[in-house]
Amino acid sequence: MIFQQSHAQPYVLEKGKEKYTVKAVKTRFTVRQNSHIKEGAYTQFYNKTKLIEGVYKNDQKSGTWHYYDYQGKLNTTVDYKDDQLHGKYINTLEEDTFSIIYFTLGKIDSAFGYHKNGKPAFERKPMNDSMEICRSFYSNGQVKTITPLKHGQPDGIQSVFFKTGGLHRKIRYQAGKIDALLEILNVKGQPLDGNRIQNGSGTLNIYYAPDDSSSLLPVSAEYTYLAGIRHGTSRSYQRNGNLLEEGQYDSGYRAGKWQKYDEKGKPTAIYHYDIDSNYQFRPRTDVIIPYDWELMGDSAINFPSFPGGESALLKFIYKYVGYPKKARNVSLEGIVYIKFNINLFGEVDSYKIVKSIHPLLDNPVKRIVRVMPRWRSGFRDRMPVNITFYLPVKFKLI
């Protein structure tokens, strides 16, 4: 027997002696009688704005789901079957088609992204059961990259082109990792010095797109590779040649302290990327980069964003995370680190404590991540991507 029941799903947290609910985020759904199995309509709201609506069958997403922006405007429609993506994923932006992905029971069949002028930005098509071919394009229609994929990872020779059509570089990949840099050229077809990768190790520069047909290409970034992924010192530069940031990669991830610079090359902020660093309430994106999708100083990556931006995220955490009374009574304090994934739809679909202090402090952090509203999705080459964030939450007795 199925009956209709509306559920508001705020999480009750403690802050000192006060108890209150996360009123900004609510979900409403229907369940089967005498059970927690979702069956029927589901809706999520943030500050009374509808963000998500769809239908559950036997606790599994089914049919067409609709996702809205923070102004309540529809921007994504997705088809599900038995809780798996099955059919079309369509994302729109400013009333133009942004991207379309075709799924069969959770597996991508093909994908297409578009520039605002309607020209293709990205396409991914199958070649056989294990191989696919990915192409990205400039807004003028010229091919930017051609990348063969095997089981979803780059495998074979990737070619990268200038906006004018000339070849810029060729890199050979094996199982998603760089094996060798075959050639790298300027606009006039002349070799560029300072780049060499063999057997997965060496250095590779990323360049800004040239303003004209000049053979000079300003360096955008310098990376070192070990065993096919970024490892060691990295520096990025502004177009004027001044430093933008510098730091270290460790096995594909940013690690330690990274120094940021202003447009004049003067040091500004320091970002901490080790999970044991004493860095309060600073969310960070941490995308492992086993292969290089960046091109000519344009990373083509738009990271997910919390509604209202980073300042709104910090206010949300400060307001609702709480400091459990039991933890205060036994003088528990420290920094809890949690990582969470923002999926193609801007939803938090997984999370994990990566540095624990005690369950009394870990649990409020997990709850606040679980109750977060839908984020603005992240995109690469105008296609939606999954992005992992790391968030430190500091508890300190005063």
Can you tell me the distance from the alpha carbon of 323 to that of 305, in angstroms, rounded to the nearest whole number? 26
pLDDT in tens, 129-167: 889 999 988 888 999 999 999 988 899 999 999 888 899
Give me the chain's average pLDDT, please.
80
Instruction: Determine, yes or no, domain membership for 371.
Output: yes
**pLDDT at 214 (0 to 100):** 63
Label residue 282 by pLDDT band (50, 70, 90).
very low
Q: What is the mean pLDDT of residues 248-255?
A: 83
**Residue 357 domain boundaries:** 310-395
Quote the pLDDT of residue 274.
Answer: 63
pTM above 0.75, yes or no: no
**Is 267 within a domain?**
no
Task: Kindly state whether residue 216 falls inside one of the protein's structural domains.
Answer: no
Percentage of the residues of the chain whose pLDDT score is greater than 90: 29
Check residues 135 and 34 and name the one with the higher pLDDT: 135
Q: What one-character DSSP code corresponds to residue 329?
A: H
CATH number, domain with residue 349: 3.30.1150
Which residues contact residue 309 at a Cβ distance below 8 angstroms, ignoring those fewer than 6 apart?
none
Rg (CA), the chain: 23
Tokens of 349: 């679909």
So what's the pLDDT on residue 297?
Answer: 37
Packed helices 310-320 and 359-370: angle between N→C axes, nearest 10 degrees = 130
Confidence class for position 254, pLDDT limits 50, 70, 90: confident
Q: 339-369 pLDDT, tens per residue?
A: 888 888 888 888 989 889 999 999 999 988 8
- Encode burial over 254-284: b for 16+ CB neighbours within 10 A, e otherwise: bbeebeebeeeeeeeeebbbebebebeebeb
In a domain, 217, yes or no: no
Of 136, 188, 179, the residue nearest 159 (C-alpha):
136
Q: What type of residue is 239?
A: R
Q: Which residues, including other chains, have CB under 8 Å from residue 57's CB and lie 6 or more apart?
A: 39, 63
- Does residue 14 surpass a pLDDT of 60? no
Q: Encoding tokens for residue 114?
A: 């578009």
In a domain, 272, yes or no: no
Q: What is the pLDDT of residue 29?
A: 83
- Reduced to 3 states, what is the DSSP secondary structure of residue 272? strand
| Token output for 130 | 């294990």
**Nearest alpha carbon to residue 114 among 96, 133, 88, 89:** 96
Contact 91, 99 (CB under 8 A): yes
Q: How many domains does the chain have?
A: 1
**Do 14 and 324 contact (CB within 8 A), yes or no?**
yes
pLDDT per residue as tens digits for the range 203-214: 999 888 776 666
- Give the model's pLDDT for residue 11: 29
Closest CA to 272 of 356, 355, 392, 369: 392
Residue 15: predicted pLDDT: 34
Which tokens in the block code for residue 221?
């970034």
Least confident of 20-24, 119-123, 230-234, 318-322: 20-24
Convert the pLDDT of each residue in 41-70 to its tens digit.
999 888 888 989 999 999 999 999 999 888
Q: Who wins on pLDDT, 40 or 290?
A: 40
User: Is residue 184 included in any domain, yes or no?
Assistant: no
Domain assignment of residue 386, yes or no:
yes
Which tens digits make up the pLDDT trace of 292-303?
Answer: 334 333 445 677
DSSP output for 317-328: HHHHS-B-HHHH
Q: Is residue 377 part of a domain?
A: yes
Question: Is the pLDDT at 215 greater than 80, yes or no?
Answer: no
